[in-house]
Amino acid sequence: MSKMKLTRRTALIGAAGAGLAVSACSSGPERFEPRAEGHFRHGVASGDPDTNSIMLWTALSDDAGGWRGVEVARDEAFEDVVFRQGEEITYVQPQALGTLKILATGLEPGERYFYRFSLNETYSPVGITRTLPEGAVGQFRIGVFSCSNFPAGHFNVYREAAENGELDLVLHLGDYIYEYAMGEYATGDAEALNRVPDPLHEIVSHADYVARHAQYKSDPDLQALHAAAPWIMSWDDHETANNSWTGGAQNHNDGEGRWEDRRDAALRAWYDWTPSREPEDLRNRYGVYEIGNLATLCLIESRLSARDQEILNDTFPVASDADVDDPDVIAAVEAWKRDVVGAEDRELIGAAQIAGIREACAASVAAGKPWRILANQVIMSRVNFPNFAEEMPGWLRWWATRDSEFARNFIMRTRFEIPFNLDMWDGYPAERERLFAALREAGADVITLTGDVHSFWANELTDAQGNRIGTEFVGSSVTSPAPFSSFAAPGVDYGQMMRDANPDVAHCNMVDHGYIRLTLTPGEAQADYVTVSTILQRDYRAGLDSQWRIGRPSNGSVPRVERLG
């Protein structure tokens, strides 16, 4: 997998109509401090670093034209400026809202820099960024985030990481925004929290996606983390629409227009509103990042470039209340798992990405690097549902199914050892085996970092023959609700049920919100699962769900993950 082919436009200016109030803005440089008013009310960000360059981003509000640009310095006072670039712009009429992206070049590897934008005599808040290191690296720390739903709660997880994470890099694995309307998914507390989605309706058009991105970027905690470290970002599905694939999405219908138009509008807004470099084909958001002699990070795209449609529940071959001991029923279910879910031609990331991952990992092994990281969106490990018909307390089954035929069918279907989620790699098992075979060919063990599922997991990665491939660390959500949160009850531990039902699952916490703080050294990788006590108010307590360690691989072995606490 080669690095993304980058459009090296040194300045990218995008304008979008969004009515924002005109207000005064303070002048002069300063360390990061969110601003609710002025030209730079959406903060600053940096992303997609390599050893000599990094993309810098901001949004400009109430822009009447003039000089705009960016400067990068080694020091906070901007006395040692190493990069400065900008241009003079004249508008026929003022622009309510636009974005500015500039690629800072000529930087040194592994260095910390300060940067700030300016519009005429007004400066933005100051951001801190880093280039990727080359050569010997003693330690590198990555924060892993996903599923940040603005109306669901406060972004306390971002704030905790910005203030206490001491991160070299932020890795966001998708669902950075959500497309839903007010009154739909995870908006029940939005009015009380003053976090009602903008616009109120489901976002479909380019202007809709821009407005939603702008609202998220107005959050001070998100701004703080963007300003604290460089980001590498992938999307999952909600940046376009729920359960998206190459030809559509579960949350898209013909009345909302052509899928291709909606997808392209969403991608244009995503690139304009994130500090990300652009490949020639905007769908191909995948590539390789080298972290000195320490690690190779492969960024996966699993939605829009190759994915086939997920297998739908209505393909299940027997009635949900069928006799689980009937040989004909058993045979029908096994045939469905083998021939429908397991169809050899079903793709998730495609042959090109798999070949690229094999090439990058083989080179990493040959170079003697201890770590290979897959930045992945959906759970890669094999996970089946527990048998909820037996594991859930009877009173809870009654309550969950009393007025829901869907819930009843779902609970009864779990008796058949079905995959936990067919939108994950379990819905594409042949593709998973192709990826695992490629990693075996490369002689590479991996650490897979995953989001999407709004819960903390630690999983072993094994192929169909039982060969160990590596470890999967799954981070919880920033705010999005946990699985089964609508069925939550005292004394009912869904995470324990998952562990008991799946030998590859070492840990599962389906309660807490948080992020993963992954610290890499030449000798070990340590994953701290950092939690926050609440997202429903601004005051919170930070904690640790658990800590995990992997020793350095040796002699071609795949080390096992061990729990530290």
Q: Per CATH, which fold does 1-132 belong to?
A: Immunoglobulin-like (2.60.40)
% of the chain residues with pLDDT over 70: 94
Are the beta carbons of 72 and 84 closer than 8 angstroms? yes
What pLDDT does residue 20 have? Answer: 26
Give the whole-angstrom CA distance, residue 72 versus residue 128: 9
Q: What mean pLDDT do residues 312-337 have?
A: 97
What tokens does 126 get? Answer: 């100051």
What pLDDT does residue 481 have? Answer: 98
Q: What mean pLDDT do residues 306-333 have?
A: 97
The per-residue pLDDT for range 486-498, each reduced to its tens digit, is 888 999 999 999 9
Burial of 194 (0-12, 13-18, 19+ CB in 10 A): exposed
The CATH number of the structural domain formed by 140-287+448-565 is 3.60.21.70
Are the beta carbons of 479 and 154 closer than 8 angstroms? yes
pLDDT band for 1, please (50, 70, 90 cuts): low
What tokens does 360 get? Answer: 């990058």
The per-residue pLDDT for range 144-185, each reduced to its tens digit, is 999 999 999 999 999 999 999 999 999 999 999 999 999 999
What tokens does 529 get? Answer: 């699962």
The per-residue pLDDT for range 497-534, each reduced to its tens digit, is 999 999 999 999 999 999 999 999 999 999 999 999 99
Paired residues of 544 in beta bridges: 530
Give the whole-angstrom CA distance, residue 61 versus residue 112: 28
Q: What mean pLDDT do residues 279-298 have?
A: 98
User: Is the pLDDT assigned to residue 24 strictly greater than 50?
Assistant: no
Element spanning 551, H or E: strand 542-551
The per-residue pLDDT for range 185-209, each reduced to its tens digit, is 999 999 999 999 999 999 999 999 9
Are the beta carbons of 32 and 126 closer than 8 angstroms? yes
* Structural domain spans, the chain: 1-132, 140-287+448-565
The per-residue pLDDT for range 101-134, each reduced to its tens digit, is 999 999 999 999 999 999 999 999 999 999 999 9
Q: State the pairing for strand pair 248-249/95-104.
A: unpaired
Query: Do 140-287+448-565 and 1-132 have the same topology in CATH?
Result: no
